[in-house]
Structure 1
Amino acid sequence: MDGFSLSVVLADDHPALLAGVQQGLSSVGTIRVTGTAGNSTELIRLLDMDGCDVLVSDYSMPGKEYGDGMTLFSFIRRRYPSIKLVVLTMLDNPAMLGALRDQGICCLVSKADAVSHLIPAIHAAATGGTYYSPAMEKIVRMLDMNGRRGTSEALSKRELEVLRLYASGLTVNEIAERLNRSKKTISTQKGRAMQKLGIERDVDLLRYAIEHGIVAGASQPGMPASRETPHN
């Protein structure tokens, strides 16, 4: 493989992590880190100027012009179809990881695993392959065992309705009043929806609803990426 190298851009909003990853890849002869970005605005500017073979990006980089997560990744795949993607993240939510796989993003590395796992992940991404670091492999295996569990298809119509209203900003009390159900029923349906999706935090529930089109969100390229989390 003499003379072969992949140009790689790193994107993460934690400078120390960027430095550590860059150092960890510096001795790999087949990988050249050609740039780093701390947010989506910097990232798109960098890709417009130089491009790369493989982008290694965090999932959550909030607050800038092009958003983050699936919103950012979908935009990148449309704008730079030749760039391959590796997601490096602390994300351990089955619903979110299932959504990444559904979008054809199949090289996932957990920040809980050694940086060295990025090396095979980058090579796999460049050739259209699949790579999951050990922590990701466990979650993916669980997704495969559970079938569609972990996606909105697992939700009942009433659970999906509660999720949509909750993610749109209504409180449990307001949803109960609107749907003419008890507060206890709404809380139970919301809890079941979160359990089926493998979601534990309300902020992740909101992100899931926005990124899957269950409720409209402002986190679109060219629009403000931030939004208040709904009240409990």
Structure 2
Amino acid sequence: MAKNNILVACATTTLFLLLVSLCPLRTSADTDTDEMVLDVDGNPLEVGSEYYVQSVGGGSSSPAKWLRRSRMSYAPVACPRRVVETTDASEAVKIIPQNTTEKHIRASWDVQIDSGYTAICKEDGVWSMALSGTIMSPQLLVSASGPDIDSSGGLFQINKAGASSYKITYGPPPGGEAPPGYFGDLGIVEAFVFGDLILGVAGTNAEPLQVTFTKKTWGSHQAVASA
């Protein structure tokens, strides 16, 4: 009888261990309650992929507008180049989470946004914040030329803004030197040359800019370019 009990116990233990081994391990992403950030096709934003960032609004009769670096690096626009809203959609960005082991981007995560390196202005392409304006009326503008007033580049968050749109929020990185209170939702803050509009911290009384993301592929590039 004792021998049978031992055999039953061993079989039960073996079955339990087998069931445990078949259960998938949960990662930090699995337990994270933050929802995935989706592109216009309803797919989660992929770490390592490039995306065109389109402004939402303006009406169906208005031309599509996109976020990208200024196309000018000479007078009257000197380096570093700002991030602008423009009808030129030839530049996509990468969204980079602080945890580089993750495969997708979730809302409210701290991320960097990278327009990519260019020899113009010797830019590394990482979005950061640049202080502009006057002492009495300062503005915090988005630069795509690497660290400016940030000591280690800017940290942003992407959060839900509408049914299928998002807003981008700036927060200074740990150890960053952004002036206290100079962070918040991004919006269009001032006019730029040739009709482009500069992206910056919108302020407490302004509406944040709502955006969508289109994954860069050969087909999407053609569609975006003709929009």
- TM-score, normalization by structure 1: 0.24
- TM-score, normalization by structure 2: 0.24
Greater percentage in strand: 2
